[in-house]
């Protein structure tokens, strides 16, 4: 299997040619940031796909490249210093990277939408939430101000903001964090896009509100059969909503798996470390596990496996040879669908040895 792949069909295959291609397919995506100190390879050969109605969770620590890859899909990278240097981003079979700015702008919001992690920063503080929601309909559908305002109230009702008709003229700072995030969801849902990218949508919220926001996202996704990419560092957030998981580290995907398979037995030490760091009821009073060390500097990624300086299983081959994304098999040698691990010793990790 090729490096950092999630069973994506290749050009010329039957799946790619018969009209059954994924809703979104990212192929060998590379993104770098050109700085005074050097070139940081933020995304280095990433592949994944998302079908209609499917949820892909992309996990990893800060700096792993998960948000940058999403910004590349949306076409909102700050350039310079960020540049897409390779790969394809196929949305409904069309490469977004080959589109002109105006054509891509029309797709952004109407077909592909994004929910940002900091709603207070993403929303304009000097405009009412009603005006910001209504702008989606005015720009993309040519709606009048009256009709746009009515649709804004309808959206606020849809995401369960109490007394939406009375609050449509309020400003972002007048809402709680959870309510602001619901407004961001409403804004993303406004034009009923085929794909939503949610970039850590629950980071600044308490646990109860996190659950409410995730339940709302799952409900809307099922209703509209949207594809959903959920970016997070928290494995606990995605357990009940994701269909499959891609784990990123230092710009690469290091493990892929259906969600229940990954929780049942990770095949990469980094994934195991993320799982072990989740608080558990049966460990009350015990010190919470933390992966030792820090994520690598993307200007100077270690040779071999990038995780080797922090890995308890690291051996000499890990320090000299970068592992490809190995296909994970069962004890009989049969492939395990959707499972892959970029670890030389994935068999031992999977068995917990």
Strands (E), the chain: 24-35, 38-50, 55-59, 82-91, 94-95, 112-115, 195-199, 227-232, 244-249, 252-258, 326-329, 335-341
Regarding whether 253 and 166 lie in a shared domain, the answer is no
Together in a domain, 172 and 203: no
Asked whether residue 170 is domain-assigned, the answer is: yes
Domain co-membership, 207 together with 321: yes
* pLDDT given for residue 46 in this prediction: 96
Structural domain contains residue 8:
no
> Using only C-alpha atoms, what is the Rg of the chain?
21
Q: Which residue has the tokens 């310079």?
A: 80
The residue out of 171, 191, 211 marking a domain boundary is: 191
Residue 78 token pair: 């700050």
Q: Name the phi and psi angles at 82, rounded to 5.
A: -90, 140
Helix (H, G, I), strand (E, B) or coil at 58: strand
Reported as a single tens digit per residue, the pLDDT across 295-341 is: 999 999 999 999 999 999 999 999 999 999 999 998 888 999 999 99
Query: If pLDDT is split at 50, 70 and 90, which confidence band does 266 have?
Result: very high
- Count the domains in the chain: 2
**65 backbone φψ class: left, alpha, beta (φ>0; ψ -120 to 50):** left
Shared-domain flag, residues 230 and 201: yes
Residue 351 sits in a domain whose CATH number is: 3.40.50.300
Domain match, 301 and 229 both: yes
| 35 inside domain | no
Q: Would residue 323 count as lying in a domain?
A: yes
250: left (phi over 0), alpha (psi -120 to 50) or beta: left
pLDDT over 70 (residue 103)? yes
Residues 327 and 350 in one domain: yes
CA 35 to chain centre: 25
User: Which region among 104-118, 214-228, 278-292 has the lowest average model confidence (pLDDT)?
Assistant: 278-292
Among 138, 165, 191, where does a domain finish?
191
In terms of domains, do 54 and 176 share one? no
- Rounded to whole angstroms, what are the CA distances from 213 to 27, 72, 203, 218, 323? 30, 25, 11, 9, 37
pLDDT of 208: 79
For residues 130-137, give the mean pLDDT.
92
* Same domain (yes/no): 166, 143: yes
Same domain, 308 and 172: no
141-173, pLDDT tens digit by residue? 889 999 999 999 999 998 999 999 999 999 999
0.95 cut: is pTM over it? no
Residue 235 sits in the same domain as residue 124 = no
Domain housing 152: 120-191
């Amino acid at each position: 299997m090729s490096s950092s792949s999630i069973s994506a069909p290749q050009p010329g295959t039957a799946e790619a040619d018969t009209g059954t291609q994924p809703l979104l397919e990212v192929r060998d995506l590379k993104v770098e940031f050109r700085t005074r100190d050097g070139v940081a390879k933020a995304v280095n050969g990433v592949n994944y796909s998302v079908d209609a109605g499917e949820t892909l969770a992309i996990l990893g620590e800060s700096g792993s490249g998960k948000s940058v890859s999403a910004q590349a899909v949306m076409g909102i990278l700050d350039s310079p210093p960020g540049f897409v240097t390779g790969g394809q981003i196929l949305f409904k079979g069309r490469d977004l990277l080959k589109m002109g700015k105006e054509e891509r702008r029309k797709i952004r919001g109407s077909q592909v939408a994004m929910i940002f992690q900091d709603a207070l920063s993403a929303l304009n503080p000097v405009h009412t939430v009603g005006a910001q929601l209504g702008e989606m309909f005015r720009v993309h559908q040519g709606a009048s101000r009256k009709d746009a305002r009515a649709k804004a109230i309808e959206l606020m009702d849809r995401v369960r903001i109490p007394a939406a008709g009375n609050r449509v003229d309020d400003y972002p700072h007048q809402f709680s964090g959870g309510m602001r995030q619901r407004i961001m969801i409403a804004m993303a849902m406004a034009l009923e896009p085929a794909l939503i990218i949610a970039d850590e949508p629950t980071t600044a919220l308490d646990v109860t509100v996190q659950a409410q926001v995730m339940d709302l996202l799952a409900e809307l996704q099922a209703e509209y059969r949207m594809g959903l990419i959920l970016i997070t560092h928290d494995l606990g957030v995605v357990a009940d909503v994701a269909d499959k998981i891609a784990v990123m580290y230092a710009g690469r995907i290091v493990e892929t798996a259906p969600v229940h398979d990954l929780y049942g037995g990770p095949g990469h030490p980094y994934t195991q470390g993320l799982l072990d760091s989740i608080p558990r009821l049966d460990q009350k009073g015990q010190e919470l596990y933390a992966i030792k060390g820090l994520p690598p500097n993307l200007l100077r990624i270690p040779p071999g496996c990038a995780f080797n300086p922090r890995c308890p299983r690291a051996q000499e081959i890990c320090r000299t040879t970068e592992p490809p994304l190995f296909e994970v098999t069962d004890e009989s040698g049969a492939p395990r669908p959707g499972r892959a691990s970029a670890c030389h010793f994935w068999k031992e990790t999977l068995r917990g040895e």
